[in-house]
C-alpha cells in the first residue's frame, strides 16, 4: 500500500497503524509530477491519497496553489493508477456541499461548494472519477488528533491559558478522530485489494453522531476535568471569518456500512481516547 501525504495529520495516523506502508511525504513525492508518481507505483498497488491543500482561509487568495494540490495532484495520481493497474482511494471533504442541509448528506446529494477550498476539492473528485473509474472517494469532516494544532488541541491549550473561551454554536458536524478514520481507511484498502465486495465509488466516513463546535469545545473542557461552563456560545455572525464555514456538515455513513465496512464509533467515545493522549 502506498500513502501519499504521509506527513500530514491523517497520513501519520495511517502510518502509526500500518508501519509497513510505503509512506510518501510531500518532500518525498510531488503528486503533481506525473513522472515522479509513475515511478513509485506498481501494478496491484492500493494508493491512499492523504495529500491535500487544507488551509481553507489561505486558499481564498492562493487559488492556483489550492487547485494544484487538490485537483491537479489527484488527477495525476488517478491517471497514473489507471496506467499501471493500481487502485486509488482519495480523501475528500464535507466542503463540497453548500452547508445548507438539514439531514445527513448522502454521497449522491447535490454538491455546491462555496469556498475555493471546497471547489478545488470537488474538482479533484471529478478528475479522479473521470480518470480512474475504479477509484474510491472517501469524504470526511472535522478531523482532529487532539495533540497537534487542530480544534481539539487548541481547546486544550486555551483551557490552560484563558478563564473563558467563546465558540460558535451554529455550525454542526461530526468530529472525527484521525486514528479512527485511519483504521476505517485501512479496512477499506484491504477490501479493495481483496476485491471481495461491491463498494460504491463515493463513501462518507466520520465518527458517529453530531455536535456544534461549541458542544465539542465543552466536551473537551469536561474531558480534561475543567468546568464546561467556561465555554461561552456565540453565533457565526458574532465571530466573523474571512471564509464562511458550512453551517451543516453532517455526512451520512450509510454507503460505508452498506459496503460491509465497520462504522466509526460515536464521536464522544473517540474524544475520550484523544484526551487521554498528551498534547503538545
Name beta bridge partners: 90.
49, 137
Nine-digit cell string for 49? 491519497
Question: What number of other Cβ atoms are within 10 A of residue 19's Cβ?
Answer: 8
Determine which one of 117, 144, 239, 248 is catalytic: 117
**Cα dihedral sign, 216-171-203-34:** negative
Nine-digit cell string for 78? 488517478
Reference 142, options 46, 7, 267; nearest CA is 267
CB neighbour class for 197 (10 Å; exposed up to 12, middle 13-18, buried from 19): exposed
Max CA distance (Å), the chain: 57
Cα within 13 Å of Cα(230), Cβ side: 19
**276 close to 180: Cβ distance less than 8 angstroms:** no
CA distance 155 to 41: 40
Rounded to a whole number of angstroms, the CA Rg of the chain reads 18
53 catalytic? Reply is no
**Cα dihedral sign, 181-143-173-105:** negative
Q: How far is CA 240 from CA 40, 94, 170, 172, in A?
A: 44, 20, 13, 16
Crossing angle between the packed helical segments 9-17 and 178-194, to the nearest 10 degrees: 60
Would you say how long the chain is, in residues? 280
Residues designated as active site: 117
Amino acid at each position: 500500500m502506498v500513502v501519499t501525504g504521509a506527513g500530514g495529520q491523517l497520513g501519520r495516523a495511517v502510518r502509526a497503524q500500518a508501519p509497513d506502508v510505503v509512506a510518501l511525504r510531500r518532500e518525498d513525492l510531488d503528486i503533481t509530477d506525473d513522472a515522479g508518481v509513475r515511478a513509485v507505483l506498481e501494478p496491484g498497488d492500493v494508493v491512499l491519497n492523504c495529500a491535500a491543500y487544507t488551509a481553507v482561509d489561505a486558499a481564498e487568495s492562493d487559488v492556483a496553489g489550492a487547485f494544484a494540490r487538490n485537483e491537479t495532484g489527484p488527477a495525476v495520481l488517478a491517471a497514473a493508477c489507471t496506467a499501471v493497474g493500481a487502485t486509488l482511494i482519495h480523501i475528500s471533504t464535507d466542503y463540497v456541499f453548500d452547508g445548507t442541509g438539514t439531514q445527513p448528506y448522502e454521497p449522491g446529494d447535490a454538491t455546491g461548494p462555496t469556498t475555493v477550498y471546497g471547489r478545488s476539492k470537488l474538482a479533484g473528485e471529478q478528475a479522479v472519477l473521470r480518470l480512474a473509474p475504479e477509484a474510491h472517494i472517501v469524504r470526511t469532516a472535522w478531523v482532529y488528533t487532539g495533540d497537534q494544532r487542530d480544534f481539539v488541541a487548541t481547546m486544550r491549550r486555551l483551557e490552560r491559558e484563558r478563564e473563558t473561551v467563546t465558540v460558535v454554536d451554529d455550525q454542526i458536524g461530526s468530529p472525527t478522530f484521525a486514528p479512527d478514520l485511519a483504521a476505517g481507511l485501512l479496512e477499506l484498502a484491504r477490501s479493495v485489494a481483496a476485491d471481495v465486495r461491491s463498494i460504491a465509488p463515493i463513501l462518507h466516513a466520520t465518527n458517529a453522531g453530531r455536535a456544534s463546535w461549541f458542544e465539542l469545545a465543552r466536551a473537551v473542557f469536561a474531558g480534561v476535568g475543567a468546568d464546561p461552563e467556561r465555554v461561552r456560545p456565540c453565533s457565526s455572525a458574532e465571530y466573523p471569518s474571512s471564509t464562511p464555514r458550512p453551517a451543516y456538515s453532517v455526512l451520512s455513513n450509510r454507503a460505508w456500512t452498506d459496503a460491509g465496512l465497520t462504522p466509526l464509533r460515536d464521536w464522544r467515545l473517540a474524544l475520550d481516547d484523544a484526551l487521554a493522549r498528551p498534547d503538545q
